[in-house]
Structure 1
Amino acid sequence: MQNLKEKVVAVTGASAGIGKAIAIKLAENGAKVVLGARNTELLEKVAEEIKSDGGEAVFAKTDVSNKNDLVKLINIAVSQYGKLDVIINNAGVARISRIDELDTDGWDEMIDTNIKGTLYGMAAAIAVFKKQQSGHIINIISTSGIKIMPTQGIYAGTKNAVRTIAEAFRQESDGSIRITGISPGFIKTDFSVKSVNTEDMKIAASNAVEALAISPEAIANAVIYAISQPKDVEVGDIVIRPAKQN
C-alpha cells in the first residue's frame, strides 16, 4: 500500500458504483484522486466524502464520449498535482437486447462510451505518460466479454474490443506505460438494472444481483493490487466474479 502514497489517479464514471468505490478506496490509501462523470451533483458528494475522511480529491464533469472532456480531466490532474500516475477507464454503459431487435441507438451509445470513451481516456493519459516516461492504464472491462450470452452480444463486443486494444498496446509499449484489464462479474450496483428496458427484465436483473452479486469494493481492491506492484511488474488481466457465478 505504501506505493499508493502521493500517486495521482484519474477515475472516470466515479460518481457511483464501481468507480465511486475505487475512488474512495484509493483516497483511503493515500492517493490523490481526480474524479470524472456526467453527474456533477453526485461527483461533488463523492469528493466531499473523500475530503471529510482526510483524503484529497478534485472533480470535473466528464462525458467520456467527448474526447475534449478527457483531455480537460487529465489537464486538471496535472495542473492540480503536477503529474498523473494512473488513469482508470471505468465509465461504461450496457444496453441489453437481442441483436435482431435492432437497437441501433443503444449500439451507438455503447460504442461511443465503452470503446471510444476508453480510447479517448487512454489517448489523453498517454500524452502525459510519454512525457513522464511512466504511467499506468487500468481498463474496467466485463466478464460479459469472456462468456458470451444472448442479449449481451453488442455489449460483450464492445468490451472485447477494449480487451483487444489493450493487448495490442501492451505489446507496443516499452514497459514504461503499464496496462491492466479488470473484468467484473455481477457487482452490487444498479448497473445491470439500468441496462435493460422492460419491467420484467429489470426484475430479473435485480434478482440476479441480489442472489449473486459481490461488493464493488472487490474491484477496488483489485485496482489497488495492480497499482501497488513494483514498476517492473505489470498485472495484465484480472477476472473478479462471485464464486457462484457461472
Structure 2
Amino acid sequence: MNYLDQKVVVITGASSGLGAASARALAACGVRIVAAAIDGPGLNAFVADLRASGVDAVGKVTDVTDLDESRALARFAMDTYGALDILVNNAGLMLFSNWADMVVNDWNKMIDVNIKGYLNMIAAVLPQMLEQKSGHILNMASVAGHQVGEAAGVYSASKFFVQAMTESMRKELGVKHGIRAGTISPGVINTGWADKVEDPEGRKAARALNKIAISPDDIGRAVVYALNQPANVTVNDLIVSPTRQDW
C-alpha cells in the first residue's frame, strides 16, 4: 500500500547524492518534493530534471547552518503546497582526517552541517508538525554512528549525536504528539564524498574505502521503505551496507 501519495516532503542536500536519490525514489510514490541545497545551479538543474519527468517539485537554495534560512524553507513548503508532512534531514559532510593532523576547519564544518544543520531544520518544521499532530522526521545517520574508525572521530561523533537525538525525539514526539522520528544508517555509499576530503592521507583512505561502495539509489529505496508505513508504525533505524563492508 502507498501511504506517501501526495505527501509533501522537504529534503535537504537534495541536489546530488543521497538527497537526489531519495527525492527520485519518493517522487515515484507520488510525493510532492521541496528540494533544498546550498548549491544553487545544481539544485535548479535537478529540480528542472524532476519537473521535466512529470514530478511535482520545487526547489529553494538553503544553507541549513543558518536558522533563518531553515525556517524560510519550511515556510516556503507551506506557502507552496499548504502542507508539510515529512522532513528528510540529509545535508551532511563526511571528512576523514587523523587526529594528529588537527584539521580543525574540517571538524567545524561537520559540526555546523551534521549537527547544527539538523537541529535547525527540526526547529523549522516542528511548529507545523506539532500544530497538525502528525509528521515524520527522517534523519540521515550512518554506520559511523554505531561504531568508530580512527580517521573518522568527529564524523562518527556527529552521527552518534544524530542517533541520540532521534531516539529522544521518538520517545517524546512520537509517543506524545504522533510525530514519527527515525534514522537511515548507510554504510559506504559512492556519492563522490571521497574526493571532498582535504587531508591527503584522509583522502587516500577514503578512496580506498570507496571501492566497495554501493549506489545512492540503494539508500533511496530504504528511505521509501522507512517512510511508507502506516501512521502507527515507525522504522527506528535502518542500516544499509555493502555486502563486502566488514564493519
| TM-score (normalizing by structure 2) | 0.95
Describe the SS at the equivalent of 1:138: strand
What's the CA shift string for 1:42-83, capped at 9, x where partnerless? 101111111111111111111111111111111111111001
Aligned residues: 244
- After TM superposition, the structure 1 stretch with the greater mean CA deviation from structure 2, 5-14 or 138-147, is 138-147
> In 1, distance between residues paired with 2:84 and 2:70?
13
- Could you say what secondary structure the match of 1:106 adopts? helix
C-alpha contact 1:99 1:154 (8 A) present in aligned 2: no
Structure 2 CA distance, aligned partners of 1:80 and 1:229? Answer: 25
Q: Is 2:247 aligned against 1:228?
A: no
Alignment partner of 1:88: what SS? strand
Which residue does the alignment assign to 2:186? 184
Counterpart of 1:190 in structure 2: which amino acid?
G
Taking the aligned partners of 2:198 and 2:187, their CA distance within structure 1 comes to: 17
Contact 1:5 1:31 in 2 (8 A): yes
- Amino acid of the structure 2 residue aligned with 1:180: G
Matching residue of 1:49: 49
Give, as a single letter, the amino acid of the residue that structure 1 aligns with 2:209.
A
In structure 2, C-alpha distance between the alignment counterparts of 1:212 and 1:160, rounded to whole Å: 23
Structure 2 counterpart of 1:193: 195
Distance in 2, Cα, partners of 1:135 & 1:201: 38
**Separation in 2 of the partners of 1:195 and 1:22?**
23
Deviations along 1:83-127, one digit per CA (max 9) or x if unpaired, are 101001100012211223222222211111100100111111111
List aligned pairs for 1:55-74, cutoff 5 A: 55-74=55-74
Measured after TM superposition, the shift of residue 2 of structure 1 is 2.1
Gapped runs of 5+ residues in structure 2? none
**Alpha-carbon distance between aligned partners in 1 of 2:116 and 2:202, rounded to the nearest angstrom:** 27
Q: Which residue does the alignment assign to 1:218?
A: 218
Query: Which residue of 1 is the match for residue 146 of structure 2?
Result: 146
Task: Return the letter of the residue paired with 1:28.
Answer: A
Inter-partner Cα distance in structure 1 for 2:244 and 2:177: 36
Taking only the aligned residue pairs, the percentage that are identical comes to: 36
The answer (yes or no) to whether the contact 1:64–1:118 under 8 Å persists in 2 is yes
- Deviations 1:106-165 (CA, angstroms, capped at 9, x unpaired): 221111110010011111111110111100000001111222111100110011011111
What RMSD over aligned residues (CA atoms) do the two structures have, in Å?
Answer: 1.3
Distance (whole Å) between structure 1 residues aligned to residue 95 and residue 186 of structure 2: 17
Q: State TM-score, norm by structure 1.
A: 0.95
Q: Is the contact between residue 23 and residue 33 of structure 2 (CA under 8 Å) also seen in structure 1? A: yes
In structure 2, distance between residues paired with 1:203 and 1:234: 38
Deviations 1:190-209 (A, max 9, x none): 013313421x5434433432
Q: Does 1:208 align with 2:209?
A: yes
CA contact (8 A) 1:93 1:195 kept: no
2:96–2:202 contact (8 Å) kept in structure 1: no
**Secondary structure of 1:58's match?**
strand
**C-alpha contact 2:151 2:202 (8 A) present in aligned 1:** no
Q: How has the CA–CA distance of structure 1 residues 234 and 73 changed in structure 2, closer, same or farther, with 3 Å as cutoff?
A: same
Moved over 3 A (4+): 200-204
Q: Which amino acid aligns with 2:186?
A: P
Contact kept in structure 2, 1:88 and 1:138, CA below 8 Å: yes
- Aligned equivalents of 1:67, 1:31: Cα separation in 2: 26
- Using the TM superposition, give the Cα deviation of residue 243 of structure 1 relative to its aligned residue in structure 2, in angstroms: 1.0
Q: CA deviation at 1:175?
A: 4.8
Q: Secondary structure at the match of 2:3?
A: helix
**Structure 1 segments unaligned to the other structure (5+ residues):** none
Give distance in 1, aligned partners of 2:113 and 2:119: 9
